[in-house]
Amino acid sequence: MATAATPRVGIIGAGMSGLCMAMKLQDAGIDSFVVYEQAADVGGTWRDNTYPGLHCDIPSPFYSYSFFPNSEWSRMLPPGGEIQQYLRRVADERGLRRHIRFGTEVTAARYCDGRWRVSTDSGEDEYDVLVTATGFLRVPRVAEIPGRESFAGPAFHSARWDHSVDLRDKRIGLIGTGSTGVQIVAELGGKVTQLKVFQRTAQWVLPFPNLRFTRLRRETIRRFPALARPGYAFWSRLISTIYGRAPIQPGPARTYFHTMCRLNLRLSVRDRTLRRKLTPDYQAMCKRLIISGHYYRSIQKPGVEVVSDAIDHIEPRGVVTTDGTLHEVDVLVFATGFDARAYVRPMSIVGENGTTLDEVWADGPHAYRSIAVPGFPNLFMLMGPHSPIANQSLVPVAEDQADYAMWWIEQIRAGRVASAAPTEGATKTYNEDIKAALPQTIWASGCNSWYIGKDGLPEVFPWHPGRHRELLRGPVVADFEVRTGH
Ligand code: NAP
């Protein structure tokens, strides 16, 4: 039997999930935790991304912790800056900052003698439980375009926006038309001298009314936070139902999205040549669905041009496409996405017997129910492989995963468990079930996207997001190798 004692918990990352885990520990009366954050502030992706037009395309009433409503949203689709402010307020009001070691990068974590030894750039610490909350769209993907380094003007990735560059009188080249590129175009189109949008693959775009909230609404929720609950419940149900069902099974929901996107394009873009350029050759939702009420309007503004010829190379003056045209620009923005398979990497995670996570993931990242890995006892990953992401709000996903980790932490605190890691068998079965379900999803219907993994299958949760919640609700202890003493 292990001895009952409050476990020490290390959390890596002070973004939305890391803060969530920290609050769950606090609520359980556990104060013995440390959050490592390599940057100087909380917020994760909402701290790193500051590009013009940044917002979240999930309705704001649903983009907050279920237990910490935000009265301050100004709009239906929350601007990035407001999300960052919200996360800062959460950290302040919950007194989390004293637990966070800012400016501290975790370089490695090794499971040794029943504890996690965490190495940072300033030393080593030991924990009973390690929770990784590093996010999955953290490492910018640099487009491997020949001559990229030779460009003479300012050039930066969308997640590292250079605000010292004044864009108004500039000719801007924007590479990429994912959720990020579309938001940048929607904001900058018509506001800069020239905007050349280099589109490799057209996107389906669903319009969504981005209503402004009244001061009265904000004031009311500030005074009576409980009034935020019905909005949360409404959007939670709607988003998980409509965005949840359409991708996983053919039917009316899927047809609805495709029809709405097609109609949106047809009604918004009158010019046939432009419309043809903007028409994708795959089903709506195969790539992550883009939500924008302004994209088509902005892309038709004076000075905006969609370049759909493939990029051949970059040279000091601009971008050369395969038809030989040099598109001269002053600034180059790479909205080329992220390495979605990085997860905790480049950090080195070493489990029992010296096995590294890199070795276990040689054929692609996988986990037991998205959260734990065989051979890595007391390691819990938030937003791990095959989490329900796509067009869902990630906040409730983080809450469910943190609750699951808490269940095990409570067992350790009570002395019933010393360590737990999923068995190879249970993890294999789970991943085989996922693989069997994936081909039926829309994400595998014939488009290229960042969801697609090494094996050609999407790395997402192939069932309704409600099932993820069910899978995490009650841990199946038989699926774990549990030790009761070190
Ligand atoms: P992304 O979806 O991966 O899009 C990257 C874009 O860059 C694509 O258009 C891609 O073209 C293009 N690209 C990549 N390499 C290229 C190359 N060598 N030459 C030309 N084009 C190239 O990345 P993202 O737009 O940053 O979005 C990533 C994810 O972040 C989203 O899917 C979403 O989950 C999240 N996000 C969410 C929100 C929100 O509102 N909730 C907002 C922004 C981002 P192809 O399509 O041909 O690959």
Any ligand 1 atom below 6 A from CB of 391: no
Atom of ligand 1 nearest to the CA of 176: 7
pLDDT of residue 1: 56
Nearest CA to ligand 1 atom 10: 176
* pLDDT-based confidence at residue 2 (cuts at 50, 70, 90): low
Residue 278 has pLDDT above 90, yes or no: yes
Residue 486 has pLDDT above 60, yes or no: no
Over range 342-349, report the average pLDDT.
92
Determine the distance separating the centroid of ligand 1 and the alpha carbon of 358, expressed in angstroms. Answer: 25
Determine the distance separating the centroid of ligand 1 and the alpha carbon of 135, expressed in angstroms. Answer: 16
pLDDT of residue 455: 87
Tokens of 469: 């919640």
Torsion angle of C-alpha atoms 320, 324, 325, 326, degrees rounded to 10: 40
* pLDDT-based confidence at residue 392 (cuts at 50, 70, 90): confident
Over range 48-71, report the average pLDDT.
96
Q: What's the rounded Cα separation, in Å, for the pair 452 and 454? A: 7
E runs forming strands in 38-161 = 100-102, 106-112, 115-120, 123-127, 129-132, 155-157
In the chain, helix, strand, coil percent, each to 5? 35, 20, 45
Indicate the pTM of the whole model.
Answer: 0.96
The β-bridge relationship of strands 171-175 and 331-334 is parallel
Sign of the CA dihedral with 283 first, then 285, 289, and 293 last = positive
pLDDT of residue 60: 96
pLDDT of residue 167: 94
Q: What is the pLDDT of residues 164-185, one digit of tens each?
A: 999 989 999 999 999 999 999 9
Residues facing residue 307 across a β-bridge = 198
pLDDT of residue 461: 96
* pLDDT-based confidence at residue 454 (cuts at 50, 70, 90): confident
Task: Give the three-class secondary structure for 161.
Answer: coil
Q: What is the pLDDT of residues 87-136, one digit of tens each?
A: 999 999 999 999 999 999 999 999 999 999 999 988 999 999 999 999 98
Task: Give the three-class secondary structure for 259.
Answer: helix
Name which residue leads in pLDDT, 142 or 18.
18
When the pLDDT of each residue in the chain is averaged and rounded to a whole number, the result is: 95
pLDDT of residue 449: 95
Determine the distance separating the centroid of ligand 1 and the alpha carbon of 175, expressed in angstroms. Answer: 9
Percent of the chain with pLDDT over 90: 91
Backbone angles phi and psi of 135, in degrees to 5? 75, 165
Determine the distance separating the centroid of ligand 1 and the alpha carbon of 179, expressed in angstroms. Answer: 6
**Which of 148, 179, 288 has most ligand 1 atoms within 8 Å of CB, for mutation?**
179
Over range 297-326, report the average pLDDT.
98
Domains assigned to the chain: 9-42+96-139+339-483 (3.50.50.60), 148-211+251-334 (3.50.50.60)
> Got the DSSP string for 407-462?
HHHHHHHTTS-SEEEE-HHHHHHHHHHHHHHGGGSGGGSS---TTB-TTSSB-S--
Q: What's the rounded Cα separation, in Å, for the pair 401 and 191? A: 42
CB contact set of 49 (below 8 Å; sequence gap of 6+): 80, 158, 159, 161, 180
Task: Give the three-class secondary structure for 157.
Answer: strand
